[in-house]
Structure 1
């Protein structure tokens, strides 16, 4: 038998701030990686592997304008590339 459960989370203001920052970083990484992969595919006709995309994430985190990506956990950022 399958059961379904509903739950609701009520984060504290500090937890909500961390979640909002993480979701914003995930959105930036997704959009920039997608644009980079599309440019590679349409320009060079080459596919991009997870390893190459992960290296691109590391390169993004070292730039001055995206150094704030280091403030959040790297796990969600890598998961957005994987999925």
Structure 2
């Protein structure tokens, strides 16, 4: 039998700001490496994997 739990968070103003900053930074890093991967594929027909990007 599988069970599911639902949780609702009620962050205060300070926590909301921190969550939004974290999500914004994550979005920036994702988009940065997405552009690098697209450029590498268009120029060299080579895909960049996780290890290439994390190095």
Q: TM-score range by the shorter chain?
A: 0.7 to 0.9
The match for 1:39 is 39
The match for 2:6 is 6
Q: Which runs of 4+ in 1 moved over 3 A?
A: none
Number of corresponding residues: 55
Structure 2: how far apart are the matches of 1:54 and 1:45?
20
The match for 2:52 is 52
For the pair shown, the structure with the greater C-alpha radius of gyration is 2
Secondary structure at the aligned position of 2:8 is classed as coil
Q: 1 or 2 for the larger relative contact order (CA 8 Å, sep ≥6)? A: 1
The match for 1:25 is 25
- Structure 2 unaligned regions, length at least 5: none
Structure 1: how far apart are the matches of 2:49 and 2:28?
19
Structure 2: how far apart are the matches of 1:37 and 1:47?
6
Q: What TM-score results when the alignment is normalised by the length of structure 1?
A: 0.61
